[in-house]
Amino acid sequence: MLKFALLGFLLRQSMTGYDLAAAIRSSINFVWPAQLSQIYRTLGQLENDGLVVSEVVPQQGRPDRRVYSATDAGRQAFDGWLGELVTELDPVRTPFLVRFFFSGTRAPEEMVTQLRVLRDLHLRQRDQLAHELPGYIAEFAAANTTDDRDPLIWDAVRRAGEMHAQTWLDWIDETIARLEDAAGKAQPR
C-alpha cells in the first residue's frame, strides 16, 4: 500500500523522501502512517522496479537532496492499482480491543482509566481532522491538484477519519457508562 501512496504523491510532483513523509503526516497519516525509514526503503524498491527515478540535487552548505519522480511505468502501475475494484473489506487490527476483550477480570476503575486515556487520544485525532487537516488539504490542493475532484475526495477521506474518531468517542462514552453502572449495581447495599 505504501508504494502506491508514494506513487500517488509523486505523480503530482517530484519530492524527496522527507517531503513525502511530511505530505503523509499532513494528509493520510490517520489511515496509513509511515516512518521515514519505511518511505526510503520503499522508494529504493520503487526505483529498482523502474517505477520512480531519482536525481541528486546539490545544495550549498547543506547535504545534497535526492528528489524522486514517478516514471511512465509508475503511472501505469498506479493507474492499474486505482482501477482495481475493492471486493473485500480489509481486516481491522485494533490491539486495544483485543486487550480490552480479555480485561473483564480487572477492576472496573482500571478499565475506565484506560478508556479515558484512549478517549483523549481519539478526541485529539478527531479535532485535528476537523480543524487542522482541512487547511492542509486546501494548501496542497492549491499547489498540486490536476483534477477538480481531488479536494473533494481528499476531504471525503478526512471526513471518514473524523467520523471514525467520533464513533470511537461514542463507544468509549457508552462503555464507561456501562462499566460504572455495572460497578454501582455490584456494590453491597
CATH number for the domain including 60? 1.10.10.10
Collapsing DSSP states into helix, strand and coil, what is residue 103? coil
Q: What is the pLDDT along the chain (189 residues), one digit of tens a residue?
A: 899 999 999 998 999 999 999 989 888 888 888 999 999 999 999 999 999 999 999 989 988 999 999 999 999 999 999 999 999 988 888 899 999 999 989 998 999 999 999 999 999 999 999 998 888 888 877 776 566 788 888 899 999 999 999 999 999 999 999 999 988 776 655
| Whether residue 109 is found in the same domain as residue 166 | yes
Q: Are residues 72 and 103 in the same domain?
A: no
Residue 125 CA from chain centroid, whole number: 11
Whether 162 maps to a domain, the answer reads yes
Clarify whether residues 123 and 71 are in a common domain: no
Cα–Cα distance for residue pair 71/20, rounded to 1 Å: 16
Number of domains the chain is built from: 2
**Nearest Cα residue to 141 out of 22, 10, 12:** 12
pLDDT of residue 148: 77
Which residues are 69's β-sheet partners? 53
Do 102 and 174 lie in one domain? The reply is yes
Out of 62, 83, 104, a domain closes at 83
Cα(53)–Cα(101) distance, integer angstroms? 47
Same domain, 105 and 74: no
Domain boundary among 49, 83, 117: 83
CA-CA distance, 116 to 114, in Å (whole number)? Answer: 5
Do 17 and 50 belong to one domain? yes
Q: Are 78 and 119 contained in the same domain?
A: no
Give the range of the structural domain holding residue 50, as residue numbers without chain letter: 2-83
Phi first, then psi: give them for residue 96, nearest 5 degrees: -60, -45
The answer to whether residue 137 is domain-embedded is: yes
Q: Could you tell me where the DSSP H helices lie in 16-107?
A: 17-25, 36-48, 72-83, 95-101
